[in-house]
Structure 1
Amino acid sequence: MLREINFDGMIGPSHNFSGLSPGNLAATHNAGTLSHPRDAALQGIAKMRAALALGLVQGILPPHDRPNIRWLDQLGTAMASAGPRLRSDALSASAMWAANAATVSPAPDTADGLCHLTVANLQTMAHRSHEWPQTLAQLRIAFADSRHFAVHGPIPPPFGDEGAANHMRLASSHDAHGVELFVYGVGGGPYPARQHREASEAIARIHRLDPRHVLFAEQSPAAIAAGAFHNDVVAVANENVLLVHEQAFTDMDAVCSALQERLSSVVIEQIPAATVSLDDAVATYLLNAQLVTLPEGGMALIVPKEAHDHPRVAAWLGALLAKNGPVRRVVPVDVRQSMANGGGPACLRLRVVADPQTIDPRFLVDPARLDRIEALVRRLWPVSIDPGAIGDPALWRDLRRARTALLEELGLSELDRM
């Protein structure tokens, strides 16, 4: 039975605020401040518990090896001799944002009936460009059953690909043939456009998608300039529902018309800028939410507390529920540490539509397993990290020890050798 599974990126022990991502306003605003990796990981675990409580299937992707010594070796340096910026890049915990791990096309959409996953190259930002080998290693283990999955390496440079954060799928149900919408950016504004159209087009071909059910939409330069560095900051889709800010795309009318032509049941809820400005949407990560189908029917919107507590945004959420439409519940979660580094609930998860029985069970969690992971985090994750202390070799050893213990708990120690 095909179900949507959310694979959350486990927030790693090296979570810190180094401000490495131009265009990510939260990350650059909080650069140089004290981070709290233990609290961050516990918040992520609590979000996974909230999803399980809704009756959803929940997966996990463990953190990467940090600092990334192999990457520094390729650059001809070492952690002890690298400059401050390279040290920060090598120590980044940004793989926690699993929405950037890959682009996923489920079996109902593909010509060969396989679920296709293409690992994102993330080549625009140095601190993320070295993630893909470890992400690919995880994907090839989790989705190793070749009867059901095809896992692909990254799109080659110079074409930037940032994964599911710039990809949406709409369908009458998760197990029905859907329309896949790829969102790309165009350079020339104050911040780099991270998703190239050429990369999106290549993924559509590699995934063997029907061109009649594929759309390519340009992200609005205004949205990028406002800090919507990925489309999932200004739009979220689930089954036949699309929630989108009216300034998300360069040509909103054309996108909506094309979707309506391809999926007659589509429900599009546009958020007017006069009701919620782009600045408010970005600051609260209103649409960097998880829109999920509930087992009993209807949908829930898992939002950051920042959105739930903001007067104008809360008013829009109340009006959405009052329509008695597909969205029946709003579930606020505290992911404050992730938000401070520029990632809300949706950033932390990769959506995969598949039969859970076909996935390596070591990547799936239940409440008891989360209890054990939480106990380990409380014991081994640093309470805080000052960006000025990232050159401390004792810290590096502690980070490695914490990750190794987690991999042992998950039964994934082979990842320690990859």
Structure 2
Amino acid sequence: MTAFEVNFDGLIGPSHNYGGLSDGNLASATHAGAVSNPREAALQGLEKMRRMIQAGLIQGVLPPLPRPNFDFLVSAGFTGSDAQIIESAARSAPHLLKTAYSASNMWTANAATVSPSADTGDGRLHLTTANLSTMLHRSIEHPDTTATLISVFDDEDCFAVHSALPMHPDFADEGAANHVRLSAEHGAAGVELFVFGRLAGESTTGFPARQSRLASESIVRGHGLDFQRAILARQSAAAINAGAFHNDVVCVGALDTLFFHEMAFEDTDGVLGSIRQAADGLFELKAVMVPRAEVPIEDAIRSYLFNSQLLKTPGDDRLVLVAPIETQEMDSTRLFCEQMVSGNGPIGRVEYVDVRQSMRNGGGPACLRLRVVMTESEIDACHQGVLLDDEVIDELQDVVRASYRDRLAPSDLADPKFADECRAAREQILGVLDLESLA
């Protein structure tokens, strides 16, 4: 069956700021407290989406979530008018105010785990919203994310949207950032790779291992996948403690190709062997491993070489890697990419994109998108307002230029007027996307 990979990018919201809220995310910690530029961030993201359309791909967008999250602040004990709640939180609990304003839902790779209809038992496309329970600022996202996904994928004959797993450490789930689907073609049955950092009930040292094996197993069951074609692999503890807080910081895959760092998995040979066994009769795995002798793990994480989009674009015989410009600026990763594409391997071209505002908070091109493999009928059945063309991108950019600030310091979050700005900007975005029901 013919199917297409549709990338749904998160539109960066007007409250994009460097709050330093993400333990284990080195970029987030490095830039904590810096002045951000929400306008530039959103425009950079939209230009990346435009490039995907110009490359002949289908591109979607998901709107920002409501910020600040007043439900969260009220649950933390703040009362009164919106202005009183913000002023009180800014005075007595600024960390909670930064949490309520977090724009981290822009990284839609963490929004959900997606299994296409070619893999599922009931022949529907399944999405499970990630609970993101490890980090406070992300754990508040899932109710609004689920509502958004239901609005976009609202035809129950085609789609099954599952609510987040239980909010308990044993079920910690980070979405597609720890999931890779491999197949001969997008519409063919495939192998789904689920990467976890710890077992249920297991304690780890160093940076938090955010994905549990139980969460991954639960999604396999909930999506009706065949366990013979669902591989559960353990992420390297050394990679996590080096700053690879999600597997997509050290690994990315597309179609029959897995591109990964030598330190991505605890048992690389075992993982590759399991994939090859599960793929027998479906496709032949093409594994591209980057040796740490050529690209140290520290360089891989600083450059976000693997937090890139790996795409099959019309007119290209080989895959294209869409990498952040930081990958080009680092000697080791640039040289590796040059050598890689000069050979005859599955990756034939590298394109560099500027998403610096996102990168400073720890999210590259791959973080900004949720990959959804869809048939033509499923594309027709989803909400059409979120499928982009140049005209819609122009409209969104007009909203961003008119309503987003070009300078936002953490102290600006204490201004109650900023909450009104965020609300008004989001309402305009929802209007462009015909999603007013989410306002």
The reply to whether TM is greater than 0.5 is: yes
Alignment partner for residue 125 of structure 1, among 127, 135, 145?
135
CA distance in 2, matches of 1:108, 1:408: 33
CA distance in 2, matches of 1:357, 1:276: 43
Letter matched to residue 270 of structure 1 = M
CA distance in 2, matches of 1:309, 1:340: 15
Matched, 1:265 2:281: no
**Matching of residues 156-235 of structure 1 within 5 Å:** 156-158=166-168, 159-186=171-198, 187-235=203-251
SS for the counterpart of 2:314 is: coil
SS for the counterpart of 2:414 is: coil
Matched, 1:414 2:437: yes
Alignment partner for residue 398 of structure 2, among 375, 392, 400?
375
Letter matched to residue 301 of structure 2 = V
Letter matched to residue 49 of structure 2 = M
SS for the counterpart of 1:109 is: coil
8 Å Cα contact 2:392/2:432 also seen in 1: no
> How far does residue 50 in structure 1 lie from its aligned partner after superposition?
1.1
Residue matched to 1:281: 300
Residue matched to 2:370: 350
> How far does residue 80 in structure 1 lie from its aligned partner after superposition?
2.5
CA distance in 2, matches of 1:254, 1:112: 30
Letter matched to residue 305 of structure 2 = L
Residue matched to 1:309: 329
TM-score by length of 2: 0.93
CA distance in 2, matches of 1:371, 1:405: 13
> How far does residue 145 in structure 1 lie from its aligned partner after superposition?
1.2
> How far does residue 407 in structure 1 lie from its aligned partner after superposition?
1.0
**Alignment coverage as a number of residue pairs:** 416
Alignment partner for residue 153 of structure 1, among 163, 168, 181?
163
> How far does residue 309 in structure 1 lie from its aligned partner after superposition?
2.0
Matched, 1:11 2:19: no
Structure 1 window deviating more from structure 2 (359-368 vs 86-95): it is 359-368
> How far does residue 213 in structure 1 lie from its aligned partner after superposition?
0.3
Structure 1 window deviating more from structure 2 (5-14 vs 374-383): it is 374-383
Deviations 1:119-168 (A, max 9, x none): 00011111011101111011101111112111000110211101000001
> How far does residue 73 in structure 1 lie from its aligned partner after superposition?
1.6
Alignment partner for residue 353 of structure 2, among 311, 324, 333?
333
Residue matched to 1:89: 99
SS for the counterpart of 1:81 is: helix
Structure 1 window deviating more from structure 2 (404-413 vs 100-109): it is 404-413
Mark the runs of 5 or more structure 2 residues left unpaired by the alignment. Answer: 79-84
Matched, 1:387 2:387: no
Letter matched to residue 34 of structure 1 = V
> How far does residue 409 in structure 1 lie from its aligned partner after superposition?
1.7
8 Å Cα contact 2:86/2:415 also seen in 1: no
Letter matched to residue 290 of structure 2 = I
Residue matched to 1:298: 318
Mark the runs of 5 or more structure 1 residues left unpaired by the alignment. Answer: none
**Matching of residues 13-92 of structure 1 within 5 Å:** 13-77=14-78, 78-82=85-89, 83-92=93-102
8 Å Cα contact 2:11/2:42 also seen in 1: yes
CA distance in 2, matches of 1:74, 1:105: 34
Letter matched to residue 301 of structure 1 = L
Residue matched to 1:404: 427
CA distance in 2, matches of 1:252, 1:326: 19
TM-score by length of 1: 0.98
CA distance in 1, matches of 2:246, 2:72: 25
CA distance in 2, matches of 1:277, 1:54: 32
Structure 1 window deviating more from structure 2 (111-120 vs 349-358): it is 349-358
Structure 1 window deviating more from structure 2 (333-342 vs 398-407): it is 398-407
Residue matched to 1:323: 343
CA distance in 2, matches of 1:324, 1:217: 28
The two structures, once aligned, show a CA RMSD in angstroms of: 1.0
> How far does residue 410 in structure 1 lie from its aligned partner after superposition?
1.5
Deviations 1:182-236 (A, max 9, x none): 0011242211111111000000000000010011111101100111000000000
8 Å Cα contact 2:110/2:177 also seen in 1: yes
Matched, 1:112 2:113: no
Letter matched to residue 177 of structure 2 = A
SS for the counterpart of 1:288 is: coil
